[in-house]
Amino acid sequence: MEFNFTIDNTKDCIVVTEEQLHRIIDQVLLRKYGLRWEDDPNITGWSKDKKTGLETRRNEKKTIFPHETHSTRLLDYSYILDLKSIVSKNQKHFKSIFCPWNDMMAMFDILGKLRNKVMHPGNQIMKHQHYLCLGVCGEFLLAIEYWNKGYSRTVQFCSCDFRFDELEGTDPAGAKARSLQNAEEWLVSIKDKSTRKVEIEQDISYGQLYKGEVKISFPRNSRQSYREGYTQSANLHLISKSINAINRILVEERHPCWTFNWTLYSELDISSMVSIIEETKDRIPLSSSGTARKKTSASYYIGADNGSRFRVNVSMGASQTTNITIYHDSEELNSGFINAQNVFSPDLILQILYGEIPRNKI
């Protein structure tokens, strides 16, 4: 994060910080409650008198500066402690942004106490208090930047895809039978190691699933193309909330997955991500979906190893979730990841995409 403020422009620093706080509060609550969230006192915590006071403040500014364009949001006429009140009222939505929570709430109090002294000429403020304001503003701006980039999101569950490839040669039917048999043997090995009774459930996307700590789809057949030729491939999809369970399956069974996915509880602004990467790293996505104003997915290559390339796709999921998926693109049969779940994480992948980790260090 660039931070070019000094004690000579503490006032500018506070203005920028307030603007960023206004923006992220509106962004979060707009997504949760819609355009009219300011009208609900259960969300804002504003009394009638408080709301009237904000409306008066807005009207006064329009009167004083009639030729300027003014925000219609009441939030933009709120002071630091007003913002703290809204954030505190909606802690469940903001605790992952402003953390550690108690420390950040104390920073609202510090900035609220010193803000007016800095902003209005004639008030005496000591040199160390200028530095204190700068430090607090820096912490807020860093937290907001961290969140805008998608860091520190909570993982809802992980999933991965497996292929069991068999070259067709002159016998596609035989290759299909062998690939399905290999997949079934792999499933039996996993089921035999289970400490619970393995049940079966229906899933809209994958049909029948073996149900337990890990859910695994029944094998489905597909045809793939590799350097050596076409294959018949049995495909399985695995879902689990337990990274330890997935790790055990990958490490003990030694059959790699060709995708590994993290589904995050919160929605990531993919349009902003694409814009930041393009502006700072001059990289455009390999592919994307959505509109020019609202991207719903974007893919990038992030590295290569021994002829295989690693591709990442960031996409919107169901119910305001985000999927971050890493793909192992290879011309070799039965290749993929054994240790991706330990090497990579959503934060690390985003750091790579933003160029915060050099590609030669991946």
Q: How many CA atoms lie within 13 A of 293 on its CB side?
A: 0
Between the alpha carbon of residue 110 and those of residues 24, 80, 297, the distances in Å are 20, 10, 40
pLDDT in tens, 125-157: 899 999 999 999 999 999 988 887 777 778 899
pLDDT in tens, 8-30: 999 999 999 999 999 899 878 87
Listed residue (182, 190, 189, 191) closest to 163, CA to CA: 182
Q: How many CB atoms lie within 10 A of CB 280?
A: 11
pLDDT in tens, 37-64: 888 999 988 888 999 999 999 998 888 8
Domains of the chain, residue spans = 7-148, 155-361
Query: pLDDT band at residue 199, thresholds of 50, 70 and 90?
Result: low
pLDDT over 90 at 311, yes or no: yes
Dist CA 109 CA 140 (whole Å): 13
pTM value is 0.69
